[in-house]
Structure 1
Amino acid sequence: MNRNAVTVMPNDPVPEHPPVQIERRMADLVARYLERCRADVAAMRSALDGGTLATVRGLGDRLAGSGAAYGFGEISARGFAIERAARDADLFAIREAVEAVDRYLARVVVTYRD
């Protein structure tokens, strides 16, 4: 994915999306991935509270690089926004993007196909 092509800004509202369709054989892997994303959100909040932007940037990079591979392009887009905001030390933009990931994770619907 071209990092320069991502146009989602950290404070853009989280758009509504149709359910994400995943192959049934990937169900356990996807469930673990989404749990890790939730843990990453918590870790980013903690790192922000501690002023550790390098940690936030690294976690944003991980989300950016992994989301689309699992079928969650929204996670990748927000990860890029987090990474960019951390690089710029824009705390407001970081928090907005982290909260957008959290909201997405709270409402994403995954359906499985054979």
Structure 2
Amino acid sequence: MDDFDDDEWAEMQEMYINHTSKELRNIKENLDSVAFDSLRTFGHNIKGSGGMYGFNEITSRGAAIESAAMNENLEDIKSHLDALEVFLRSKL
């Protein structure tokens, strides 16, 4: 990112990780009542935004969550949410 210095970029990445962590926490706390469409949207959104912030792992997990939600595969969704949580914690 040529328009930002290293400190600004690191701050933006940290804000993104914090925001995504909060979204994930909310989803996991309410997983029994979350609609598959909401899970698909979450996956789709982080699939697009993860790469913008330099987090290819988030992009990959987002794509997997989106796909699992489209197939209404709750076990796969849980697995990918757990893996995403581990990754996000490693960045905090």
- Which bracket does the TM-score occupy, shorter chain normalised? 0.7 to 0.9
TM-score by length of 1: 0.70
More strand, by proportion: 1
- Higher relative contact order (CA closer than 8 Å, sequence separation 6+): 1
Say how many residue pairs are matched.
88
By percentage of residues, which structure has more helix? 2
One of 20, 24, 28 as aligned partner of 1:41: 24
- Identity percentage of aligned residues: 28
Runs of 4+ more than 4 Å apart: none
Question: Are residue 83 (structure 1) and residue 78 (structure 2) matched?
Answer: no
Alpha-carbon distance in 2 for matches of 1:51, 1:27:
32
Bigger drift between 47-56 and 57-66 goes to 47-56
Give the aligned CA root-mean-square deviation in angstroms.
1.7
Call closer, same or farther: CA 1:96–1:26 in 2, change over 3 Å. Answer: same
Could you tell me which runs of 5 or more consecutive residues in structure 1 were left unpaired when the two chains were aligned: 1-21, 110-114
Where does structure 2 lack aligned partners over 5 or more consecutive residues?
Answer: none
Scaled by the length of structure 2, the TM-score of the pair is 0.85
Partner of 1:29: 12
